[in-house]
Homo-oligomer: A and B are copies of this chain.
Amino acid sequence: MARAATTSDVFNAIAEPRRRALIDALARDGARPVGALVRTLRMRQPDVSKHLGVLRKVGIVSVSKDGQRRLYRLNARELKPVHDWVKHYEQFWNDHLDRIKATAERVARERAAGGPGTAPATDKHNPDKER
């Protein structure tokens, strides 16, 4: 099979730079009609419609009629899964203190979970004996 459809989930939907640009524009300027986005982002109109269509199917944006125009507005909440996922990795690039703290918490969690045979993982090289 080919790659998962861009309309299948948010992660695929935001993989396209132009779609992120659309999202950014809608977040910045609020609900906008297609034409405004075309001018702002300097994209061709059919492309904007196409990408908005993808974002719509995933639920990231929603439309409402405004006479001749279609007002697209952001549904940022749909981005939460992405945020929730990357948030876990924030510790890896924050300052040292936070990283150490996070690592300590993680180790504590693992200890509490009591995984048998689970090697303690650190950033260092792990001799790792594989069961």
Show the binding face of A for B, using Cβ within 8 Å. 3-4, 6, 9, 11-12, 14-17, 20, 24, 27-33, 35-36, 39, 64-67, 71, 73-74, 76-77, 79-80, 82-83, 85-90, 92-93, 105-106, 109-110, 113-116, 118-123, 125-128, 130-131
11 contacts between A and B (CB under 8 A): A4-B16, A28-B121, A30-B106, A32-B130, A64-B113, A65-B114, A71-B115, A73-B109, A79-B89, A83-B86, A83-B90
Contacts of A16 in B (CB 8 A): 3-4
| Copies of this chain assembled into the complex | 2
Judged by DSSP, the binding face of A is: mixed
Contact between chains at B39 and A128 (CB < 8 Å): no
Q: Which of B12, B24, B128 contacts A66 (CB 8 A)?
A: B128
A99 to B115, CA, bound (A): 40
Assuming A14-B11, A15-B11, A114-B66, is B29 touching A121 (CB within 8 A)? yes
Distance, CA A15 to CA B11, complexed state (A)? 5
Chain B residues with CB under 8 A of A125 = 31, 64, 71
Q: Is the CB of B83 within 8 A of A87?
A: yes
Inter-chain CA distance A116–B87, complex, in Å, is 34
